[in-house]
A and B are shown apart, each in its own frame.
Chain A
């Protein structure tokens, strides 16, 4: 299973954090710090995989954002890259040519999309269209402009 997914900028500012196991606030902060340090220190053109404690860390940079997945040992790293890519595609379809600002200003929507794609550290839905439709339908249920 996946243990966590983090999104952070090149300056190390956190844009999204999804945790799939119950850990303390302090532990979360520690992991975020270590992930940002480790990933940002990687030279360009190195492979996208790292080992950290007993986990595999799979990361990929899209424009100004780093997507970082911490997965357990049996997970397929190459597929983890596809998972990250699929999430980026979902965001792109929803926001239309997504950029970091979209995720900053609409972080709650980024979470909603993620929660239709993954759950409990596993993939929930493999069809892009179904995920998109679910989000659109949910959006329509929302009361007008509450936030």
Chain B
């Protein structure tokens, strides 16, 4: 049997293959040869064959049949065999295969081998891929080697211990005694791996953390020596002595100093020293500075040091090296909450980074810019951010638009500015805004009463230019439907009113209906807008015609709307004005989703009438919106009714945009042992008031005060008269129907004054 082909020869041969198929053929042939060689238990060339197998494995071909051979190599006495065997084990074996446990004994023997390089191989393999069982079996050996004076083995044992602890955390205790004098080592390799071991232990156990706090002075001393010591050729990197060790020590100091005043104070000086003395011309110096900044920000450092850290980050932002700018922006993003003012000082540099060519940097700069926006800088910042929105990649536009809306809502200096900003976003990035922006914007526009004419005019003009961006078109249609009368009457105060006729407006809206660019949702918006205009415009016949045409539309949604609007014209024409009235001011509140807003006047009636189509879906979530308008202004709650175990309490809020609206929430509780089902609460107010009743949370009041039914009432009290209410309660209790009427007169004066 000729000797198997050499490894380099095989590599050379495989590389001559011109096609994938040719390569596969060569590999298969060689694999067959290797397999038969394995079967013959050839000891001499096993090493060569496994090496070839590893090469083929790297090309992506299966090599599992070599796993056992690796074990045989490990058990061999020849060093080359062991070297390749352990490499093969690390590449081909892992803890999923039961086979791997067979290694344990070999490793144990090799850990006690007379040659340190064999011991090293065993430690390395155990430390890279040892399973939990192997770690348990061999932890004792590792611990022994951790105490050896041979620094070559000691450093490997330390990292092996780290791996053992990661796999079997309960074994951490047994390594504690060996850590006693690890830091007294002079050898940098041992020092470095010891710091890693200590770090791992401190991260995993608060007890270890407190125990090792006493090492802070020693760590500070080691770091100081590294900085102050002269040139050491062995560890020098661009003039800095052992940057890897410096960074690791800084990281351990960070963990030890966090939330601990004494430790933080003990490291204050050295951190300042590193921060000011480290050479910044090369990446390696900046790596150390970066780690120092992270440490300063995380421990209880004094304010001077923190400012120093932020200034370092500010300098990083001006660095030519992109990596350093990226790292600075990421760090500033982490600290902007805690050290807001310090970061603000670097705002202009951060904003400049929006113009950077690198995508990752742009994204970080955008996130940071939004975090820095406040009431003082909103105008300037928004200018930059809108400019960024114009020119940025499509991937950014959605996030940027959302950020702009959020910032504008929080800090808008005026309503006009707010609407202008929204217009700008819709016209430049209109197709990228998120779906929930449309209802949010509509709500905002509705609540800016004095801006209605200006808004509808601007939106109309925008529509004339471009009808492709759906969110813009949807908001515009909605506005025209609501405020079309303001548009044609030319009432705009904020800018030159445009001359537009009813027919022109209807042309535009009808154009949306037929355009290919409009989505079905958009079509729905424009049809409803056209319908609403029937109570605002005089060209009712034209509108009737349009609506009746769409009664046979293929789109089911449009068809349904058209048919119902047709019915409105024919059979319910008397209700049309009331139904299509101006939308009332909407509340931004945390309570329930969109409910049917039933307009009641005088006596309360359950809603039998079709509600107006409120703007579609998604209530703004609390994550996206802060609760702005519902301000609880401290009106004391009152008990409105208490009889037969049913108690009804009223709590009050005032709706901010209109101080004449009082929002009352009723809370119904039941102290009897049987629940009250089919619970209906009705209310009526005197003629000078208007009342709205929203849907209740449920119509079952649980027994024994185990739950509450809530319902919101809104009362418009324009004449500021004393509030009185008559309430009617119906429910089923213990099988029989109960009904009761009551007067509520004890409203606190603040609720209606």
Bind each other: yes
A-to-B contact residues, CB < 8 Å? 14-17, 20, 22-24, 29, 45-51, 74, 76-79, 81-83, 86, 104-105, 107-108, 111-112, 115, 119-120, 122-130, 134, 137-138, 141-143, 146-147
The minimal Cβ–Cβ distance linking A12 to chain B, given in whole angstroms, is: 11
Tell me if A146 and B327 are in contact (CB < 8 A): no
Q: A78-B327, A105-B8 are in contact. Are A47 and B361 (CB under 8 A)?
A: yes
Interface: B51 (CB within 8 A): yes
Interface residues of B in 74-98 (CB under 8 A from A): 78-80, 83-84, 87, 91, 94-96
Among candidates B11, B287, B357, residue contacting A79 with C-beta atoms closer than 8 Å? B287
Once A50-B360, A141-B79 are accepted as A-B contacts, the answer to whether A123 and B117 lie under 8 Å apart by CB is no
Contact B54 A108 (CB under 8 A): yes
Contact assessment for A142 and B79 in the assembled complex, using a CB-CB cutoff below 8 Å: yes
Q: Which residues of A contact B327 (CB under 8 A)?
A: 49, 77-78
Which residues does chain B contribute within 8 Å of A81, judged by CB atoms?
A: 283, 287, 323
Q: Give the chain A neighbours of B120 by CB distance below 8 A.
A: 134
Contact in complex: A146, B47 (CB < 8 Å):
yes
Separation in Å of the B135 CB from the closest CB of chain A?
A: 11
Q: Which of B259-304 contact A (CB under 8 A)?
A: 283-284, 286-287, 290-291, 294
- Distance to closest chain B CB from A99 (angstroms): 15
- Cα distance A52–B314 in the bound complex, in angstroms: 26
Known: A20-B128, A105-B8. A143 touches B237 (CB 8 A): no
User: Complex: how many Å from CA A51 to CA B367?
Assistant: 15
Bound complex: CA of A104 vs CA of B357, how far in Å? 35
Query: Among residues 29 to 84 in chain B, which have CB atoms less than 8 Å away from a CB atom of chain A?
Result: 47-48, 51, 54-55, 58-60, 78-80, 83-84
* Complex-state Cα separation, A24 to B357, whole angstroms: 38
Q: Is the CB of B242 within 8 A of A126?
A: yes
Instruction: Report chain A residues within 8 Å CB of B704.
Output: none
**CB < 8 Å neighbour of B358 from A22, A47, A127, A138:** A47
B163 within 8 A of A: yes
Take A119-B124, A126-B235 as given contacts and tell me if A22 and B47 are in contact as well, using a CB distance cutoff of 8 Å. Answer: no
Chain A residues positioned under 8 Å from B286 (CB to CB): 78
Q: Which residues of B contact A126 (CB under 8 A)?
A: 188-189, 192, 235, 242, 244-245
Give the interface segment out of B153-161, B594-602, B615-623, B673-681. B153-161
Supposing A125-B155, A141-B115 touch, asked if A76 and B291 sit within 8 A by C-beta, the answer is yes
Which residues of B have CB within 8 Å of A29?
60
A142/B83 in contact, CB under 8 A: yes
User: At the interface, yes or no: B752 with Cβ under 8 Å from chain A?
Assistant: no
Residue of A nearest to B250 (CB): A76
- Whether A147 lies near B162 (C-beta < 8 A) is no
Checking B160, B244, B251, B323 against A47 with a beta-carbon cut-off of 8 angstroms, the contacting residue is B323
Cβ of B127 within 8 Å of any chain A Cβ, yes or no, is yes
User: Pick the contact of B322 from A17, A47, A129 — CB < 8 Å?
Assistant: A47
Whether B312 sits at the interface, judged by CB under 8 Å, is: no
**Within the complex, which residue of A48, A83, A120 is in contact with B128, where a contact is CB–CB below 8 Å?**
A120
B283 partner residues in chain A, CB cutoff 8 A: 78, 81-82
List the A residue with the shortest CB-CB distance to B7: A147
A-B contact pairs, 18 of them (CB 8 A): A20-B128, A47-B361, A50-B360, A77-B323, A77-B326, A78-B323, A79-B244, A82-B237, A82-B243, A107-B55, A112-B83, A115-B128, A122-B159, A123-B192, A130-B234, A138-B83, A143-B80, A147-B48
**Cβ distance B229 to chain A, nearest Cβ, rounded Å:** 14
Contact of B6 among A51, A138, A147 (CB under 8 A): A147
Contacts of B361 in A (CB 8 A): 47
B151: nearest chain-A partner, CB-CB? A130
Q: What residues on A are CB-neighbors of B87 within 8 Å? A: 108, 111-112
B151 to chain A, nearest CB (A): 9
Q: Is B370 an interface residue (CB 8 A)?
A: no
Given A81-B283, A147-B47, does the pair A120, B235 have CB atoms closer than 8 Å? no
Q: Mark B220-243, 1 if CB is under 8 A from A, else 0.
A: 000000000000001101000011
What is the total of A-B residue contacts with beta carbons within 8 Å? 168
Q: How far is the CB of B655 from chain A (nearest CB, A)?
A: 44
Classify the secondary structure of A's interface with B: mixed
B15 neighbours in A (Cβ, 8 Å)? 104
**Quick check: is B152 within 8 A (CB to CB) of the other chain?**
yes
Q: Is the CB of A124 within 8 A of B159?
A: yes
Residue from A23, A86, A119, A125 whose CB has the most chain B CB atoms within 10 Å: A119
Chain B positions within 8 Å of A23 at CB level: 94
A48 contacts B115, C-beta separation under 8 Å: no
Residues from chain A with Cβ under 8 Å of B401 in the complex: none
Closest beta carbon of chain A to B294's beta carbon, Å? 8
Closest to A147 in B: B7
Enumerate chain A residues within 8 angstroms of B498, measured Cβ to Cβ.
Answer: none
Q: A105-B8, A134-B117 are in contact. Are A79 and B237 (CB under 8 A)?
A: no
Q: Is B247 an interface residue (CB 8 A)?
A: yes
The chain A residue sitting closest to B290, CB to CB, is A78
Q: Which residues of B contact A137 (CB under 8 A)?
A: 117
Nearest chain A CB to B725 CB, angstrom units: 57
- B163, A17: Cβ atoms closer than 8 Å: no
Expressed in whole angstroms, the Cα–Cα distance for A136 and B235 within the complex equals: 19
User: Which A residue's beta carbon lies closest to that of B164?
Assistant: A120
CB proximity of B271 to chain A, nearest CB, Å = 16
Q: How far is the CA of A48 from the CA of B156 in the complex (A)?
A: 30
Decide: A127 near B128, CB < 8 A? Known: A76-B291, A79-B244, A143-B79: no
Distance from A64 Cβ to chain B, minimum over Cβ atoms (Å): 14
B324 at interface, CB cutoff 8 A: yes
The answer to whether B129 touches A146 (Cβ under 8 A) is no
Instruction: Confirm or deny: B193 has a beta carbon within 8 angstroms of a beta carbon on chain A.
Output: yes
Tell me if B196 counts as interface (CB < 8 A to partner A).
yes
Q: B359 within 8 Å of A by Cβ?
A: yes
Chain A residues with Cβ below 8 Å from B193 are 122-124
Report how far A119 CA is from B237 CA in the complex, Å. Answer: 21
- Assuming A119-B156, A119-B159, A124-B193, what are 11 further A-B pairs, CB within 8 angstroms? A112-B83, A119-B123, A119-B160, A120-B127, A120-B166, A124-B189, A126-B192, A126-B245, A138-B117, A146-B78, A146-B80
- Minimum-distance CB pairs A-B, first 8: A78-B287, A47-B322, A125-B189, A141-B79, A79-B287, A120-B163, A120-B127, A147-B7
Query: In the complex the two chains form, is B11's CB within 8 Å of A123's CB?
Result: no
B124 touches A24 (CB 8 A): no
Q: How far is the CA of A24 from the CA of B322 in the complex (A)?
A: 35
**Residue from A120, A129, A143 in contact with B234 in the complex, judged by beta carbons closer than 8 Å:** A129
Residue of A nearest to B196 (CB): A122
Hey, which chain B residues are within 8 Å of A146, CB to CB? Answer: 47-48, 78, 80
A130 and B47 contact, Cβ closer than 8 Å, known pairs A48-B323, A119-B128: no
Nearest opposing residue in chain B for A129, CB measure: B234
Q: Which of A22, A79, A124 contacts B247 (CB 8 A)?
A: A79
Shortest C-beta distance, A84 to chain B (Å), equals 11
Knowing A45-B357, A122-B196, A147-B51 are in contact, say whether A79-B243 is a contact too (CB < 8 A).
Answer: yes
> Can you list, as one digit per residue, whether each of B94-129 has a CB less than 8 Å from chain A (1) or not (0)?
111000000000000000000101001001100111
For B294, the chain A residues whose CB sits under 8 A away are 76
A45 to B359, CA, bound (A): 11
Does B566 sit within 8 A of A, measured CB to CB?
A: no
